[in-house]
Structure 1
Amino acid sequence: GVDEEGVMAAALGAERLGLPHNPPAAVARTRDKAAMRRALAQADVPQPRFALLDAGADVAAVAREVGLPCVVKPLSLSGSRGVIRANGVAEARAAAERVRGILAAADEPAGTPLLVESYLPGREVAVEGLLRGGRLEVLAVFDKPDPLEGPYFEETLYVTPSRLPTGVLAEVEALTARAAGALDLREGPVHAELRVDGERVSVLELAARSIGGLCSRALRFAAGVSLEQVILRHALGLGLEDVARESTASGVMMIPIPRAGVLRAVQGLKDARAADGIAGLEITIARGRPVVPLPEGDRYLGFLFARGASPDAVESSLRVAHACLRIRIEPPAAGAR
């Protein structure tokens, strides 16, 4: 599977067809943040302190248990939806109430527990990998240059190769492999999020899928092969002699939604596409459609792609192109939902 909704169906289908696959129970653990945390804790994988917040439980007590600042999040949603930092007890209570409202809007069962985690400082990176027979082959490590410090955790820039020191990068890759093993994942794509604070590396999440949305377009492999082609060749048992990423630096910007309302226009597209290093621009929400930012929202306005001689050049290209865009969002009509 290459998205959160498809991973369980992919595991069950591959099991019936006799194709390389992950145990469905392992995939289920990646879909439940509490089950994931327990599995990682059992294997002593570095991660945030955590506790479940049951409906009606004392938010203040749970927040103090994991330590402040903390992060309140749902067990099931993805893409940073419903993930909120709280610096104190009052903020933790407000965050829990807001997350429960987001879950209700997503038609999740009432009374579902929430996850409360200690906030980990540091830079965030993403690892794209492929498991073959339980061995992790790292395909790319992305830096996330924009700080992800809360109160919401909207991802914007992904740039590869990472600019982390060699030793820290090796620890990121090794810890991703440990986390995959702790979850009993054995085959196929993985996408991991980790925090790096100096030389300390911790796992935030690991999914049994590839990078989401259109972000995979930022990656190309030998002979111009796409990430999806790599995943399909592995799933079908076809040859994968060379899955090295192209030598050119690359990156993607997930264009954030600045405020709620109705999208009326995105101007400056021609100038953005003409910016040095830009390889593509896709606006994925149609004009006239409602837009909602995180933490309630579940999508981005679109995607910018860049390639260049270095990660710094790619990051600069994405920022320059984004600055060209003029996004016009109007308040929704009175009484509209």
Structure 2
Amino acid sequence: MPMINGTDAADRCLVLVLRKGFTSLGDHLQTLLDLAVRVHLVTVESPTIADDPRFTSVVQLPESASHREFVDAAVGRARETGAAAVFTLLETDIEIAETANAEFGNGWATPEAAFVCRDKFRQREFLRQHGIPSVWYHPVTDIDKAVEVAAERGFPLILKPTRAAASEFVELVQDADRLRVALDRIKAMIDDNYGFYYEGEPTEWALLEEYLPGQEVTLDGVVVGGRFILGGVHNKLESSGPYFLEDLYTLPYTNPEREDELADIAARINTGLGTTTCMFNAELRQGADGAFRVVEFSIRVSGGHPYRHIKDVYSIDLLRMFVRAACGEPVDDILAQENRRSEPRMTVCAKVVYSNGTVVRNSVGEAIHSPHFRVYFATAKPGRVVAAGTQGFDATGLLSVWMPWQPGQDPSVVHNVAKELAQQLDIDVRDEAGQKSALA
């Protein structure tokens, strides 16, 4: 058994920074259990998290704690426990994790990469500097100036906050009046300190971007020993706006002949970032000419269920490879021992359930009896008020399905299975009048 800092490789120990998002990360945490990793969690205060047996210890900080306080807590816990590294599974925590890693002394840590990834304006500047396919963009520092620039460029334009996630507050705006409303909405979100997205207000707090009318995909992979390894490319819900709700993540990718092209873009990004050990995700979208351009990227795996999708369809386990590398195991051993990416063995789809109102019930219901049922994450607990579509960006739940697949099979086949099975979930959301709300 290889040695890590004088200890047996079986004695794996890591510090996990995760302020929220536990509901849909069950598969990720199970992988850590399967690898016998002792996980020391740094999170926000919770009345129940300390009783979770998946964590060896739990450090809880108030929700108002600063990035600096979380970094200090993570570094301190790593030193106290003899952990090999600090990591996260959440987009909003990558700066904390990478800064902690660097201060802890891990040479592969890339706080500069996290700094770029956490801000979409810095991403656009990075892509331009490295000649990687991107789009026209303009950083927003002032609402009046942004409206003036948009009028000169011409509508429609994509508007997005620089530091949000999961397409929250992203909108295709058609005119100056709507642009002002959407910009005010982003400003209010920042002022409310929503979602751990902003700590303070940066100079560039939103972006105007060229709209790409083509297909959007999400790519996931892992970097081990400086080498980018593709996991999978998901098709996503094709949307022409005005909002871009995350939905219908589907594998296998309908255009596998383009995977090498997409993987090359991902590899070029990681080369520019200087990463040697990380998970990686990128969103890309086709322009009118059919060419893919980068929408955004980050040094973490996709949120939700794509990680497990990739493992189910292609056999490769991105998180397992990363964790072993983060624990200091030899790269050659990891590459020789872990499953290589196989040919597709099924088709899968993640259906996000959206609704508006107060959640009364939210569980799997009769859907669990279907052979196509994979898992259901009830992301909104009873009593919570959810808002989607024109009213907000909340997900009520996430349903994942699987079924047999044949080469060339249209994604609509598994989409229909997912939509039909979603109707068998036991979900009851009521509007202000007490009427049952429709699910989307």
Which bracket does the TM-score occupy, shorter chain normalised? 0.7 to 0.9
Rounded Cα–Cα distance in structure 1 between residues aligned with 2:347 and 2:256 = 18
- Which residue of 226, 249, 253 corresponds with 2:350? 253
Shifted more, 291-300 versus 63-72: the winner is: 291-300
CA RMSD of aligned residues (A): 2.9
Matched, 1:277 2:377: no
Rounded Cα–Cα distance in structure 2 between residues aligned with 1:105 and 1:188 = 31
How far 1:127 moved relative to its partner? 0.5
Which residue of the partner structure matches residue 418 of structure 2?
318
How far 1:249 moved relative to its partner? 2.7
Matched, 1:216 2:307: yes
Distance 1:123 1:5, change over 3 A: same
Q: Contact 1:253/1:305 (CA < 8 Å) preserved in 2?
A: yes
Residue identity in the other structure for 1:212: G
- Which residue of 103, 126, 135 corresponds with 2:227? 135
Q: Where does 1:296-315 land on structure 2 (aligned, <5 Å)? A: 297=392, 299-310=394-405, 312=411, 313-315=413-415
RCO comparison, higher one (Cα < 8 Å, 6+): 1
Q: Contact 1:48/1:118 (CA < 8 Å) preserved in 2?
A: yes
- Which residue of 156, 175, 180 corresponds with 2:270? 180
Residue identity in the other structure for 2:213: P
Equivalent position SS for 1:5: helix
Rounded Cα–Cα distance in structure 1 between residues aligned with 2:110 and 2:168 = 27
Post-superposition CA distance 1:268-302 (Å, at most 9, x none): x3332233422222212211112132677565222
Residue identity in the other structure for 1:216: Y
- Which residue of 76, 97, 108 corresponds with 1:10? 97
Q: Where does 1:1-337 land on structure 2 (aligned, <5 Å)? A: 1-19=88-106, 21-106=108-193, 108=198, 109=200, 113-144=205-236, 146-166=237-257, 168-197=258-287, 199-220=290-311, 226-238=317-329, 239-240=333-334, 241=336, 242-245=338-341, 247-259=344-356, 261-266=357-362, 269-293=364-388, 297=392, 299-310=394-405, 312=411, 313-325=413-425, 327-331=427-431
Q: Contact 2:316/2:341 (CA < 8 Å) preserved in 1?
A: no
Distance 1:299 1:190, change over 3 A: farther
Shifted more, 179-188 versus 90-99: the winner is: 179-188
How far 1:13 moved relative to its partner? 3.3
How far 1:50 moved relative to its partner? 0.4
Identity %: 24
Rounded Cα–Cα distance in structure 1 between residues aligned with 2:227 and 2:390 = 35
Shifted more, 323-332 versus 279-288: the winner is: 323-332
Equivalent position SS for 2:144: coil
Q: TM-score, normalised by structure 1?
A: 0.86
Q: TM-score, normalised by structure 2?
A: 0.67
Q: Contact 1:262/1:291 (CA < 8 Å) preserved in 2?
A: yes
Q: Contact 1:20/1:187 (CA < 8 Å) preserved in 2?
A: no
